[in-house]
Amino acid sequence: MIGVIDYGMGNLGSVVNALRYLEQDVRLIERREEADRCDALILPGVGAFGDCMEHLEAHGFVELIREWVAAGRPLMGICLGLQALFAASEESPGVAGLSLFEGTVKRFDLPADLKVPQIGWNRVEAVQPDCPMFTGIEPNAHFYLVHSFYVDTPDSGLIAGKTNYGIDYCSCIWRDNVFATQFHPEKSQAVGLQMLKNFADWSAGV
């Protein structure tokens, strides 16, 4: 079973519907003890970094996520769910993230002809050729993005995919039992469904 963490904000409906379309056993997780029945977790997110961390803490999910990852269990983050895995964000100074990986979240500083937030379809270049999440997906496939902030990590080996929007930036990460995307697989039509299926298949073997 895949649990989608419900902490009061995020793109829950579209993620759950996409997984159900793929005939996956999925449930919303509103309390940390409900995760005990799950084989994998998804941390979605839409909104501000500070609000995200406040809601995760209030619902008891901060320690759950840290313990889950430390135990080697599969976790996928989506959009703000990727950013929350890092230490801090320029969006919410002074607010600590989950700090699972080294790096910070920065606001785009781009030429005037490039709008912020970036909204729409853009290419994702896979940079870890053995990353199982890109199985069955054409190189440089387009995924859907909506964001003003991006992950800046000094750990290049963590980056599984990158995207260009004025700058090359990290658009997904993969390490051990954690995979996360800045883009929205659940809104990315066939390629996004394939990636969610890949996560489900991979989770079954972790």
Q: Which one of the listed residues 38, 52, 79, 170 is annotated catalytic?
A: 79
Question: What residue ranges of the chain have pLDDT lower than 70?
Answer: 10-11
* Residues 9 and 52 sit within 8 Å (Cβ to Cβ): yes
Pair of tokens at residue 125: 């270049």
Integer CA distances (angstroms), 143 to 49, 61, 100, 122, in order: 22, 28, 25, 6
- Is the peptide bond preceding residue 154 cis, with omega within 30 degrees of 0? no
Q: What is the pLDDT of residue 46?
A: 84
Confidence (pTM): 0.96
Q: What is the pLDDT of residue 45?
A: 85
Catalytic site includes residue 184: yes
Pair of tokens at residue 47: 């909104």
Q: What is the pLDDT of residue 72?
A: 97
Burial class (CB in 10 A: 0-12, 13-18, 19+), 27: middle
Range of the domain at 42: 2-205
CATH of the domain at 188: 3.40.50.880
Q: What is the pLDDT of residue 122?
A: 98
Q: What is the pLDDT of residue 206?
A: 73
C-alpha span between 80 and 70 (Å, rounded): 21
pLDDT, tens digit, 9 for 90 and up, residues 78-91: 999 999 999 999 99
Catalytic site includes residue 170: no
Pair of tokens at residue 169: 């930036």
* Residues 63 and 70 sit within 8 Å (Cβ to Cβ): no
State what percent of residues in the chain have pLDDT above 70. 99
Provide the number of structural domains found in the chain. Answer: 1
